[in-house]
Amino acid sequence: MNRNWGYVLLAGLVEIIWVMGLKHSANLWEWLGTLAAIAASFYLIIEAAKRLPVGTVYAVFTGIGTAGTVASEMLFFGEPFKLVKVLLICVLLAGVIGLKLVTADHAEPEVSK
């Protein structure tokens, strides 16, 4: 895995943190941590999108965030386990993995105007 896909993975993991922060932050420091996580996540995804196809990058980023957020809510915050929800997340992840497998590691070169 090259560095750019590492950025996408890390951005997705940080997205899980900030999405949970939107729901669970209760004081100024927690909100500041959530804002810092948003900034870090967006910085990483922007860096990856400069060198990889933006559609695939965004799909992988949101897939990681969605699956991770649902799993974290179930594991750490008492969200009820629903088999249908887990199966649909698995379908989503299969699509994200498929996109990653069929996408080249480099985007088309930028055309200067």
Report yes or no on 61 lying in a domain: yes
Q: Which among 99, 30, 29 is positioned nearest to 64, based on CA atoms?
A: 99
Q: CA-CA distance, 30 to 77, in Å (whole number)? A: 16
Its domain, for residue 28, covers 3-102
Residue type, 26: A
Report yes or no on 109 lying in a domain: no
| Tokens representing residue 1 in the block | 């895995």
Higher-confidence residue of 90 and 99: namely 90
Report yes or no on 55 lying in a domain: yes
Q: Which residues of 21-47 are buried (b: 16+ CB within 10 A; e: fewer)?
A: beeebeeeeeeeebeebbebbeebbeb
pLDDT digits (tens, 9 = 90+) for 28-81: 999 999 999 999 999 999 999 999 999 889 989 998 999 999 999 999 988 999
Q: CA-CA distance, 45 to 4, in Å (whole number)? A: 9
Report yes or no on 63 lying in a domain: yes
Overall number of domains in the chain: 1
Report yes or no on 21 lying in a domain: yes
Report yes or no on 108 lying in a domain: no
Report yes or no on 62 lying in a domain: yes
Report yes or no on 112 lying in a domain: no
pLDDT digits (tens, 9 = 90+) for 17-43: 999 999 999 999 999 999 999 999 999
> What's the pTM value of the predicted model, to 2 decimals?
0.78
- Would you say residue 111 has pLDDT above 50? no
